[in-house]
Amino acid sequence: MHVQCPWLLDRPAISLSYCHCFHYTISEEMASADRNLLILNFLTLASLSLFCADKAFCIRIPDRDSTTPRELSDQSLKTAVFALGSFWRSEAVFGCLNGVVRTTSGYAGGSKINPEYRSLGDHAESVMVEYDPKEINFRQLLEVFWSSHDPRQVFGQGPDVGPQYRSIIFTNGTEEARLAAMSKEREQTKSRSSILTTQIQQLESFYPAEPEHQLTEVVFTCVDFHE
């Protein structure tokens, strides 16, 4: 039995393959971090594994000197930054897309210099997505963004309540801003009973979160996009 990735089921414009497997890597820093935080990360991963319960699921702590070969140079990659609630969940959502090379949890959208998890100021928990534009494009990432959270909830997602969990599309340049605005307008037309709370902001800065908050190191394959 195959199980489709649930956060994309309502996107009829996208043809999906099925989940193949989940393969997570916990960083060395995370493995030595606070025990309660590690347990919470594990529970997050375990809950996601239920969506593809018939497939492989593992958590691997890499060797100290292990390295992951990069098939693509950083110069060939593009980046996109989104805020859609808890960055652990956001990182897992985007990390499973074909064409996404790596994801990084962090803070963006605020004015505080060098924010931290316990003192992030007016920033939002965010995820930086580094992707190969030959495999996936910004428009498709926007589709995943809208499918993966409730953009009509005010300052929060589910039980996570607060301005740090607000919905934001960060843009790099006028073309991304145009695509973001168009996608927001399309999303709004689906229901006029409530207003989308999602903000569209030019990305000013992105601060990577502490090592213990980086959920995944090795990207796993889950979804294929077809035009």
Cα 105 from Cα 99, distance rounded (Å): 18
Structural domain count of the chain: 1
What is the model's pLDDT at position 73? Answer: 57
Handedness of CA 111, 116, 120, 124 (dihedral sign): positive
Identify whether 27 is part of a domain. yes
Lowest pLDDT segment from 16-30, 64-78, 82-96, 192-206? 16-30
Query: Higher model confidence: residue 161 or residue 46?
Result: 161
> For the chain, what is the mean pLDDT?
73
What is the model's pLDDT at position 212? Answer: 82
What CATH number is associated with residue 169? 3.30.1060.10
Identify whether 67 is part of a domain. no
Query: Read out DSSP for 69-117?
Result: --SS-GGG-EEEEEEES-HHHHHHHHHTBTTEEEEEEEEESS--SS-BT
pTM value is 0.67
Identify whether 151 is part of a domain. yes
Identify whether 226 is part of a domain. no
pLDDT digits (tens, 9 = 90+) for 43-95: 555 554 444 443 333 333 333 333 333 455 577 899 999 999 988 888 988 98
CA distances from 174 to 14, 171, 202, 208 (A): 25, 8, 9, 24
Identify whether 70 is part of a domain. no
Tell me which residue range forms the domain holding 134. 14-62+76-213
Q: Does residue 21 register a pLDDT over 50?
A: no
Cα 204 from Cα 197, distance rounded (Å): 20
Identify whether 8 is part of a domain. no
Identify whether 43 is part of a domain. yes
Confidence category of residue 156, pLDDT binned at 50, 70, 90: confident
Query: Residue 161 contacts by C-beta under 8 Å, 6 or more apart in sequence?
Result: 155
